[in-house]
Every structure is written in structure tokens, then in C-alpha cells.
């Protein structure tokens, strides 16, 4: 371990290219949402999509955190801001009084439904329009492998 195993030229190129995409894409997507007249950020959108797809249109906070792969405190702050704006609401969990349910409101549902079509168009314009079927399959394979790797590498330390 005294001599680190540096990245090969190919790996380095792939890595820097990936970092670039990672930086550019959230910018483009957030701007796409704003440009379409939506008041939702990419984060707002992600939360609302999850809630809108959940049975009963509500989820436990921790369940939501795991689905989004977010830290608890980040989600907690996000939910407070969204609740203040009327996009979600809280209700107590009768089974486990420590916990809370988060429910999407009618306003939240309307907002995500209005934002979705232009957002999908932005995702296409900035991402999938550049890719063919093979690319999509490769990407899914790669991302799944990396996710698995990170989650097992983190093991206990994470969360």
C-alpha cells in the first residue's frame, strides 16, 4: 500500500468524463425545471415522484430516505421546506409514535404532474437523445454495479 495503484489513462479519462457529467447534469435539469415555469427544484421533484407512486400516496420518513438514498437530516430539512410551501403534509404514525408519515398534498400532486412532462423532455434533450439502446443497457449495468459496490464498501460506516 506504499505505492498507490494509480488510475490507468483509460480509467482517468472515463473518471473525469463522468465527473463532468455529474456536474453538468443537475445544473441543466434544475434550469430545465425553472425554464418550464415550475417552482420545483430537482430535489422537490424527486421527493414528490416517490410520494406520488407510493401506496396511499404517503411514506414513512425513513422509507423515503432509503428510496432516495438521502441522509435523514437532508430529507428532514427538505420536508420542512416543502411542508411550508404546502407540497406535503405530516401525520403521526399510530403504530410507532416515534415516526411520521409524509403525505403528498393535492397541490403537490398538481405541481409534480404539471412539471413532469417538461422535465421528461429536459431529461431526453440533455441525456437520452445522446444515447442509443445499447448505451442505455450499458449505463444501467454500470450504475447497478457501482451502487452495489458503494453500498457494500460502506458497510457499517454509512448511516
Q: Note the residues at the interface with a second copy (CB under 8 A).
A: 1, 4-7, 10-11, 13-15, 17-26, 28, 31, 46, 68-70, 116-118, 120-121, 123-131, 133, 135-151, 153-154, 157-158
Q: How many residues bind DNA (CB under 7 A)?
A: 31
List the x/- string, 28-67, binding to DNA by CB under 7 A.
--xx--x------x-x----------------xxxx-x--
The DSSP string of 59-109 is EEHHHHHHHHT--HHHHHHHHHHHHHTTSEEEEE-SS-TT-EEEEE-HHHH
Q: Which is nearer to DNA, 4 or 55 (CB)?
A: 55
Exposed, middle or buried, 94 (CB in 10 Å: 0-12/13-18/19+)? exposed
Query: What cell numbers appear for 100 in the block?
Result: 411520521
Considering CB distances under 5 to 8 angstroms, the limit depending on partner class, which of a second copy, DNA, none binds residue 93? DNA
Q: How far is the CB of 26 from a second copy (least distance, A)?
A: 8
Compare residues 77 and 137 and give the one whose CB is closer to DNA. Answer: 77
In this structure, the chain runs to a length of 159
Query: Which residues in 67-106 contact DNA (CB under 7 A)?
Result: 70-81, 90, 93, 96-100
Calpha distance 22→17 (Å, rounded): 9
By the 8 A CB rule, do 79 and 88 touch?
Answer: yes
Amino acid at each position: 500500500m506504499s505505492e498507490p495503484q494509480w488510475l490507468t489513462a483509460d480509467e482517468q479519462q472515463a473518471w473525469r468524463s463522468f465527473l463532468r457529467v455529474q456536474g453538468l447534469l443537475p445544473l441543466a435539469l434544475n434550469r430545465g425545471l425553472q425554464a418550464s415555469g415550475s417552482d420545483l427544484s430537482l430535489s422537490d421533484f424527486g421527493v414528490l415522484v416517490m410520494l406520488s407512486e407510493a401506496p396511499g400516496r404517503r411514506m414513512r420518513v425513513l422509507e423515503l430516505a432509503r428510496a432516495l438514498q438521502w441522509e435523514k437530516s437532508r430529507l428532514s430539512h427538505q420536508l420542512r421546506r416543502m411542508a411550508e410551501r404546502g407540497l406535503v403534509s405530516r401525520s403521526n404514525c399510530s403504530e410507532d409514535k416515534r415516526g411520521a408519515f409524509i403525505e403528498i398534498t393535492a397541490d403537490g400532486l398538481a405541481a409534480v404532474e404539471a412539471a413532469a412532462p417538461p422535465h421528461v423532455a429536459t431529461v431526453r434533450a440533455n441525456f437520452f437523445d445522446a444515447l442509443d439502446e445499447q448505451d442505455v443497457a450499458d449505463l444501467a449495468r454500470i450504475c447497478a454495479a457501482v451502487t452495489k459496490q458503494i453500498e457494500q464498501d460502506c458497510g457499517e460506516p454509512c448511516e
